[in-house]
Amino acid sequence: MRPPPKARATRGFPDEEETSPMNLRNIAIIAHVDHGKTTLVDRLLQQSGTYRDNQRVVERAMDSNDIERERGITILAKCTSVEWADTRINIVDTPGHADFGGEVERILSMVDGVIVLVDAAEGPMPQTKFVVGKALKLGLKPIVAINKVDRPDARVIEVVNEVFDLFAALDATDDQLDFPILYGSGKNGWMGATVEDNDKGMRPLFDLVIKHVAPPVVEEGPFRLLGTILEANPYLGRIITGRIASGSVKPNQAVKVLSRDGKTVESGRITKILAFRGLERQPVDLAEAGDIVAIAGLTKGTVADTFCDPAVENPIQAQPIDPPTVSMSFIVNNSPLAGTEGDKVTSRLIRDRLLREAEGNVALRVAEATDKDSMEVSGRGELQLAILIENMRREGFELSVSRPRVVLTKDDNGQLLEPIEEVVIDVDEEHSGVVVQKMSERKAEMMEMRPSGGNRLRLVFHAPTRGLIGYQGELLTDTRGTAIMNRLFHGYYPYKGDIQGRRNGVLISNDQGEAVAYAMFKLEDRGPMMIEPGWKVYRGMIVGEHTRDNDLEINVLKGKQLTNIRTTSKDEAVRLTPPIRMTLEKALAYIEGDELVEVTPKSIRLRKKHLDPNERKRAEKTKEMVA
């Protein structure tokens, strides 16, 4: 492939910025998870001259978070910018998981256009529908890019028709339905007007952005900026990123912060203004309306607040965020092994960390429980909460967390409502029967079944959120790892009744110490283990899964009885079955209401909420009496 001719590739030094103000375009790249957003940004940065010719560049440069790199997903929205044909294009890379939809909803208020990236084989998926719907309501004009057209199972024409049908179903205007289309491969670094037009690199996409996306609308009046992304910096303190709606701002300028209801949160001075130049943020001496910048110097302003000139009285209206659907209890770790692996174990430290997270994540709600030793955290889904827990354990926290619970509500007539999700499952035809059966057991209603190419079916369900907790692993087992499930919040609907949970009981340790291989070998007929020999266990800790539906206390500490009598027969070799490996997400989905997951920087353990067996019996009797 012949590389595209490079545009004037300035490096964005502050003095250049002041002497020659540039045309601006602000765009967001939105798509379903794994459709190639971050890889596309990589190619845009490379072909715009942002990198030096000899510069070593990591793959998926925008995924800077460790967990993002490990999992291959985007969790946090991030900004970058490129220069093309004397125009600066600010690009926002957004998450693709519905659990992080709060990030996407905030970001769309900063941009004037969107690139809707769609996989040429999978077509529009639930998260595509979610973010496109939000973008269309804001009046943003989309550019559709059909990605991965080089896939052997690509179905380009059908996917274009599906995108048009999706736009029409979301009540797009005539202008929005008249969207331009590009075809290409982000991985191979090209986009074109046709599938065969693959020799111009990313130039057609750059040119189309400049032509199709309108310049930012600049309002009259003094400086105003709506906070969109919050982060902490050890040197600069709180950094707020957003788009300047009106006026201009300089370092040391006096500003105030208005909350959503118009109350003054604080007043202060801006210490530094950072503009996005490629992957770097560079200090500038002046930022004007329309540009996306980060400002530092204020200590209380947060996301959805308006940062403005002291003369401004009315805040910028922030977009409403969809409510959380799942909640969990974050509890102080009170197990016998508490404090042995982490250094942040007190309720005060856990509370401060969760409140700090809620400041920057508008899709998260944190409330203190009545017992003062736990916090109720509500979010969009188990994945969002699991990522938060994973970040906390990497920071040295120890805590216990409960099973995810759905957030129920009531309508005006007092009827109980629960969150319902739209579930899209792509599965081989031979496994479709078991999927339909399992979903019906979880009170799901099938809305659609159609072929998706390659002897696969696309099944669409409306299912209660509580029925989907823990189903991902079971789905992969039932379909031999071939099914793909995607979920999206659909709305609140009448409560659908009881859903059967885990069918098996658990094996519980009846003493504290280190597990012994001999004891575990003798207990293997009771059920598969979740621990290995030498692991520390304690009374009330879950060490395995029972083959029956009741819980059973066992002794995994009992060693072989030794004698001083020699025999000619050799001892039996102890060969243990490999244990069940519990990841954080798997553990959260596995536990029941009377169990907890103990999370430390080194371990993930399952335990009963009441470690003492007598307390467990009393709690069970109390529960039965209440019922």
Please state the rounded mean pLDDT for residues 432-457. 88
> For residue 459, which of 482, 436, 438 has the smallest C-alpha distance?
436
Please state the rounded mean pLDDT for residues 234-244. 86
33 pLDDT tier (thresholds 50, 70, 90): low
Question: What pLDDT was estimated at residue 64?
Answer: 47
The alpha-carbon radius of gyration of the chain (Å, integer) is 27
Residue 571 per-residue DSSP state:
P
Q: How far apart are CA 270 and CA 249, in angstroms?
A: 9
What stretch(es) of the chain map to CATH 3.40.50.300? 14-212
Q: Which residues are annotated as a binding site for GTP?
A: 34-39, 147-150
Question: What pLDDT was estimated at residue 585?
Answer: 84
What stretch(es) of the chain map to CATH 2.40.30.10? 224-308
- What's the CATH superfamily of 506-626? bipa protein (2.40.50.250)
Higher pLDDT, residue 95 or 80: 80
Classify domain 14-212 by CATH architecture. Answer: 3-Layer(aba) Sandwich (3.40)
Q: Which residues are annotated as a binding site?
A: 34-39, 147-150
Residue at token pair 């071939």: 482
Residue 352 per-residue DSSP state:
H
pLDDT tens digits for range 219-230: 888 999 998 887
pLDDT tens digits for range 570-584: 555 678 888 888 888
| Conformational region of residue 259, where left means phi above 0, alpha means psi within -120 to 50, and beta covers everything else | beta
CA count, 13 A, side-chain hemisphere, 401: 28
558 pLDDT tier (thresholds 50, 70, 90): confident
12 pLDDT tier (thresholds 50, 70, 90): very low
Task: For residue 70, count other CB atoms closer than 10 A to its CB.
Answer: 10
Question: What pLDDT was estimated at residue 65?
Answer: 52
Please state the rounded mean pLDDT for residues 89-109. 69
Minimum mean pLDDT range among 22-26, 88-92, 242-246, 364-368: 22-26
Question: What pLDDT was estimated at residue 66?
Answer: 59
What stretch(es) of the chain map to CATH 2.40.50.250? 506-626
Higher pLDDT, residue 304 or 101: 304
CA count, 13 A, side-chain hemisphere, 36: 25
Please state the rounded mean pLDDT for residues 539-560. 90
Please state the rounded mean pLDDT for residues 125-140. 82
Residue 613 per-residue DSSP state:
H
284: helix, coil or strand? Answer: coil
pLDDT tens digits for range 200-211: 889 999 999 999
Q: How far apart are CA 204 and CA 555, in angstroms?
A: 68
> For residue 438, which of 476, 381, 486 has the smallest C-alpha distance?
476
Minimum mean pLDDT range among 78-82, 207-211, 334-338, 448-452: 78-82
User: What is the CATH code of the structural domain delimited by 409-494?
Assistant: 3.30.70.240
626 pLDDT tier (thresholds 50, 70, 90): low
Question: What pLDDT was estimated at residue 102?
Answer: 58
CATH class of 224-308: mainly beta
The tokens for 16 are 């250049």
Question: What pLDDT was estimated at residue 472?
Answer: 80
Please state the rounded mean pLDDT for residues 91-119. 75
Minimum mean pLDDT range among 26-35, 95-104, 159-168, 596-605: 95-104
> For residue 57, which of 279, 206, 282, 281 has the smallest C-alpha distance?
279
What stretch(es) of the chain map to CATH 3.30.70.240? 409-494
97 pLDDT tier (thresholds 50, 70, 90): low
118 touches 31 (CB < 8 A):
yes
